[in-house]
Amino acid sequence: MEYNITLIPGDGIGPEVTSAAVKVIENSGVRINWEIVRMGAAVIEEFNTPIPAYVLESIKKNKVALKGPVTTPVGMGFKSVNVTLRQELNLYANIRPIKTFEGVTSRYEDVDLIIVRENSEDLYAGIEHMITEDIAESIKIISKKASDRIVEYAFKLAKEQNRSEVIAVHKANIMKLSDGLFLKCARNIAEKHKEIAFGDVIVDAMSMKLVMNPEKYDVLVMPNLYGDILSDMAAGLIGGLGLVPGANIGEEGAVFEPAHGSAPDIAGLNIANPTACILSGVMMLRYIGEAEAADKIEKAVEAVLKEGKYLTCDLGGTTGTQEFAEVVIEKMAK
Ligand code: ATP
């Protein structure tokens, strides 16, 4: 079987990390016909938008995409490219697994949690205006529909992965209506899934708990903004952004992308860590039902990191982006 999958190389280190991931995926035995579409800063001059219509058409047709980071040019009046993509394709769940790797120096051992971030509303709805010249207002939207859907997804994921607990993260003590609604929805949905433990923690307390004992947590589900902040923070717990993959899941398709941004400071130098992008490819393979190939890649990445001989510079080594991919491919062959 051959799959049609959209490939978005993206900006900055995007083309380097996606080409490393593609190389690894192609050596896993799965046959993919990549439909390469360009978006982001590189196409603005040509199309007068960072998201030309062909990008959305390609993803809607193929239902699955692997995407490198894409930057939104600041001060040119464009809405965030990533937020637009998520909204246009209704990719309502953002999933980021945060796991410690043997061989990677970090302050913690045995972290293995998943952040499930609501991806469609909250302050990201983009509704803001000036009330007077000196006062701006941003509107936070929390709906029952989106809250039910994301919490339901968190429980589904917990069951699929044999996890034992889901925690809803919120600030309902202050935002009694908006976060209050999110919490009420979470509690209702939890009633339907009694076999999985459920709890809720206020976002500030959660931040402290994660820094103190991250290994205690399993599946965390939260509105958009808290998810954005806590997932970057959690990446720091395990050795940095170069290691954290991500998936944006919707009812009609999914876009897989590393948690990191375009890192313009290291773009074009062949030094970026492609692990996050390779592992986003692993999540993609599982999504399309190619679990065996996914396991093979994941095990090879883990083995290379554990060995510690070939590490990229963010992890204290000198191995280049493409060389790292080659080493993973060699490891898969063994
Ligand atoms: P953007 O504006 O697209 O979000 P950014 O540079 O502000 O990009 P990130 O790219 O997410 O933010 O990350 C911040 C820094 O972390 C980068 O400047 C880079 O030094 C480092 N970094 C991020 N991703 C990687 C990676 N894959 N490998 C090595 N270092 C990375």
pLDDT in tens, 261-270: 999 999 999 9
For residue 141, the 8-state DSSP code is: B
> What confidence score (pLDDT) does residue 126 get?
80
pLDDT band at residue 79 under the 50/70/90 scheme: confident
- Identity of the residue numbered 53: A
Residues within a 6 A CB radius of ligand 1: 13, 17, 69, 71, 241-242, 260-266, 272-273, 276, 314
How many A from CA of 261 to the centre of ligand 1? 5
Q: Which residue has the higher pLDDT, 77 or 81?
A: 81
Range from 121-125, 175-179, 246-250, 282-286 carrying the lowest mean pLDDT: 121-125
CATH domain 1-97+241-334 topology: Isopropylmalate Dehydrogenase (3.40.718)
pLDDT in tens, 198-210: 999 999 999 999 9
Task: Reply yes or no on whether the pLDDT at 184 is more than 90.
Answer: yes
CA distance 280 to 303: 17
The correct answer on CATH 3.40.50.150 for the domain covering 106-238 is: no
* Closest Cα to atom 22 of ligand 1: 263
Q: Find the mean pLDDT for residues 225-246.
A: 94
Backbone angles phi, psi at 213, to 5 degrees: -140, 65
Residue 204's CB is within 10 A of a number of other CB atoms, namely: 13
Contact (Cβ atoms closer than 8 angstroms) between residue 20 and residue 324: yes
Distance in angstroms between the alpha carbons of the first and the last residue of the chain: 24
Task: Reply yes or no on whether the pLDDT at 41 is more than 80.
Answer: yes
> What confidence score (pLDDT) does residue 49 get?
87
Q: Write the CB contacts of 92 (distance below 8 Å, at least 6 apart in sequence).
A: 118, 119, 120, 146, 149, 150, 153, 249, 250, 251
Q: Where along the chain do its domains lie?
A: 1-97+241-334, 106-238
Q: CA-CA distances (angstroms) from residue 37 to 21, 34, 52, 56, 58?
A: 16, 9, 9, 10, 8
Atom of ligand 1 nearest to the CA of 262: 3
Q: How large a percentage of the chain has pLDDT more than 90?
A: 87
Of 147, 157, 149, which Cα lies nearest the Cα of 223? 147
Q: Find the mean pLDDT for residues 250-257.
A: 94
CA distance 314 to 241: 9
Range from 73-82, 149-158, 178-187, 249-258 carrying the lowest mean pLDDT: 73-82
> What confidence score (pLDDT) does residue 334 get?
86
Q: Find the mean pLDDT for residues 26-41.
A: 95
